């Protein structure tokens, strides 16, 4: 089943397609979303870039640490062409679900087949440290909205797209191998998407920990649900920027701390992304 419903009219995707084809002649099949403070893939070769503000229908990226720029090119000479979104749209910014899914809709209309999402998240495991990276194995949706399609069509049924495992096994394998080869410890766990924008109370953190959650964030879940419903292969990596639960009580955090730690952990994130993308299938499949 194609990742892109070909009838989808998406003016931003059309503008982007024109721009990308004019520069590099090849549309990206892999898209990466960089969350708060995460800096990676800055040197895409043969690529170009465009501000979100120059794309029709794109809301403004309002959150500090989110640049609001899309750039494209190859991250390795033999790797697939890749599109990188620096910053995303959150429900807590006051966006509706449609706006929060602006990037996913644009990627789908462009024919993107693989979606690699990154985010900053609070860790709930006492033995984890700020700067650790976590492969998202599963998620809990506590944002109060469901972005996946309400019912599976026969085609989706056949493809298993309504299934309970939206995180692509092959991508998880690529990232795990990349981590092993680079000697980077990669955690694996369950991510919960909360609405935010405030951080959690200790009671909430204890509740979440008890519920099987390892990392807490305010994004990603709707993007995963929608992209998966559209037939994309999806994977997500969290940068644990703070440990939200401590034996002694409240663990204060701030957006600045989140951005600073994510920046500091970006070299590891970069290594994993680059290595995994380099061995990703370069053709639509």
Draw the binding track, 178-217, toward ligand HPA (x: CB under 6 A; -: no contact): ---------------------xx---------------xx
Confirm or reject binding of residue 253 to ligand HPA (CB under 6 A).
yes
Minimum CB separation of residue 246 from ligand HPA in Å reads 12
Write down the catalytic residue from 13, 66, 232, 262.
66
**Residue from 121, 133, 175, 232 binding ligand HPA (CB under 6 A):** 121
3-state SS class at 270:
helix
Confirm or reject binding of residue 81 to ligand HPA (CB under 6 A).
no
Write down the catalytic residue from 24, 71, 75, 219.
219
Minimum CB separation of residue 216 from ligand HPA in Å reads 4
Confirm or reject binding of residue 24 to ligand HPA (CB under 6 A).
no
CA-closest candidate to residue 242, choices 125, 129, 133, 127: 129
Minimum CB separation of residue 117 from ligand HPA in Å reads 14
What is the H or E stretch that residue 178 is in? helix 169-182
**Residue from 244, 265, 266, 277 binding ligand HPA (CB under 6 A):** 244
Please classify residue 273 by burial: count the beta carbons closer than 10 Å to its beta carbon, then call 0-12 exposed, 13-18 middle and 19+ buried: buried
Using an 8 Å Cβ cutoff, are 123 and 108 in contact? no
CA trace torsion 244, 202, 198, 253 (10° rounding): -40
Q: Between residues 121 and 234, which has the closer beta carbon with respect to ligand HPA? A: 121
> Within 10 Å of residue 57's Cβ, how many Cβ atoms?
15
- 66 classed as catalytic: yes
Rg (CA), the chain: 18
DSSP string, 125-194: -TT--TT-EEEEEEEEEESS---S-SS--HHHHHHTTTSS--B-HHHHHHHHHHHHHHT--EEEEEEEEE
Confirm or reject binding of residue 122 to ligand HPA (CB under 6 A).
yes
Minimum CB separation of residue 110 from ligand HPA in Å reads 28
Residue sitting closest to ligand HPA (CB): 122
Minimum CB separation of residue 104 from ligand HPA in Å reads 20
Write down the catalytic residue from 12, 120, 275, 280.
120
Using an 8 Å Cβ cutoff, are 10 and 105 in contact? yes
Cβ-count burial 132-144 (b if 16+ within 10 Å, e if not)? bbbbbeebbbebe
Q: Between residues 112 and 258, which has the closer beta carbon with respect to ligand HPA? A: 258
Minimum CB separation of residue 49 from ligand HPA in Å reads 26
Write down the catalytic residue from 51, 170, 255, 270.
255
**Residue from 71, 220, 241, 271 binding ligand HPA (CB under 6 A):** 241
- 167 classed as catalytic: no
Q: Which residue has the tokens 């990276």?
A: 133
State how far the Cα of 28 lies from the Cα of 47, in Å rounded to an integer. Answer: 11
- 219 classed as catalytic: yes
Chain-centre distance for alpha carbon 55: 20
Q: Which residue has the tokens 């909430």?
A: 204
Q: Between residues 95 and 177, which has the closer beta carbon with respect to ligand HPA? A: 95
Interacting residues with ligand HPA (CB under 6 A): 120-122, 199-200, 216-218, 241-242, 244, 253, 258
Which residues are part of the catalytic machinery?
36, 66, 90, 92-93, 120, 218-219, 242, 255
């Amino acid at each position: 089943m194609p990742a892109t419903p070909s009838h989808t009219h998406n003016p931003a995707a059309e503008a982007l397609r024109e721009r990308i084809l004019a520069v590099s002649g090849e549309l990206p099949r892999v898209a990466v979303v960089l969350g708060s403070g995460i800096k990676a893939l800055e040197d895409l070769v043969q690529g170009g870039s465009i501000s979100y503000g120059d794309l029709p229908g794109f809301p403004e990226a309002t959150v500090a640490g989110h640049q609001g720029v899309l750039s494209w090119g190859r991250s390795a000479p033999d790797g697939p062409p890749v599109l990188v979104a620096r910053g995303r749209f959150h429900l807590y910014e006051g966006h509706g679900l449609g706006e929060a899914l602006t990037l996913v809709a644009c990627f789908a209309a462009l024919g993107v087949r693989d979606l690699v999402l990154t985010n900053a998240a609070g860790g709930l495991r006492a033995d984890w440290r700020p700067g650790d990276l976590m492969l998202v194995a599963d998620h809990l949706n506590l944002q109060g909205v469901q972005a996946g399609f309400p019912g599976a069509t026969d085609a989706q049924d056949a493809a298993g797209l309504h299934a309970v495992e939206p995180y692509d096994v092959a991508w998880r394998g690529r990232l795990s191998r990349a981590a092993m080869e680079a000697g980077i410890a990669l955690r694996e766990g369950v991510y919960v998407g909360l609405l935010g924008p405030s951080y959690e109370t200790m009671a909430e953190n204890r509740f979440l920990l008890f519920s099987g959650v390892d990392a807490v964030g305010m994004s990603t879940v709707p993007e995963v649900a929608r992209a998966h419903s559209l037939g994309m292969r999806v994977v997500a990596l969290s940068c644990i920027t703070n440990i939200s639960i401590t034996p002694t009580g409240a663990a204060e955090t701030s957006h600045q701390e989140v951005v600073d730690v994510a920046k500091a952990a970006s070299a590891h994130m970069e290594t994993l992304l680059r290595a995994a993308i380099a061995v990703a299938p370069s053709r639509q499949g």
